[in-house]
Amino acid sequence: MITLAKNKAKTRNLNRLRKPLPFTVDGKLRNISLGISLGEAYVGCSGGRLYLRVSMCDKKAVEMVAKAWGSSVGMHRYKIPRCKPTPENPEGHEYSTTVIGKRADLVIKGYEPEVIGTELYNKWKRLKKRCKQ
């Protein structure tokens, strides 16, 4: 009975994720998002929860990462544009996708074989000790 209760608690935590689990769409997207994440992602702690964020001027690249992570794409509207205007992005907006808490843990664990030893992973481990999760 005790093991059944533990399994129910685990499935309940995963059921709380309203969007699809990370990396369920395609293995190619996982590899592309891994490359983008290693170059552009940053880790932080807000409100006692770890987050992983990718911000770029290229909306298509951020959409691929968001699709792999199972998150959405947001647009930043600054008074002074941070990006150079292009035909695809004439206003110069910056786009980002963020995963927080349990989903961020799942993303890092999904990247773990390749990401171990990188600056992103080391910062994740360092912040995990400091940040209450």
pLDDT tens-digit map of 21-39 = 676 656 788 888 899 999 9
Over residues 66-107, the pLDDT tens digits come to: 999 989 999 887 778 888 988 988 888 899 999 999 999 999
Over residues 106-124, the pLDDT tens digits come to: 999 989 889 999 999 999 9
Phi, psi angle pair for 99, to nearest 5°: -120, 140
* First-to-last C-alpha distance (Å) of the chain: 28
- For the chain, domains (ranges, CATH) are 2-130 (3.10.28)
pLDDT exceeds 90 at position 16: no
CB within 8 Å of 63: residues ≥ 6 apart: 73
* Residue 100 to residues 2, 36, 38, 73, 107, Cα–Cα distance (Å): 30, 18, 17, 14, 10
| Strand stretches in the chain, DSSP E | 41-46, 49-56, 74-76, 94-100
Write the burial class of residue 43 (CB in 10 Å: 0-12 exposed, 13-18 middle, 19+ buried): buried
Phi, psi angle pair for 100, to nearest 5°: -130, 145
* Residue 62 to residues 9, 33, 40, 67, Cα–Cα distance (Å): 33, 9, 10, 9
Residue with tokens 């001027």: 57
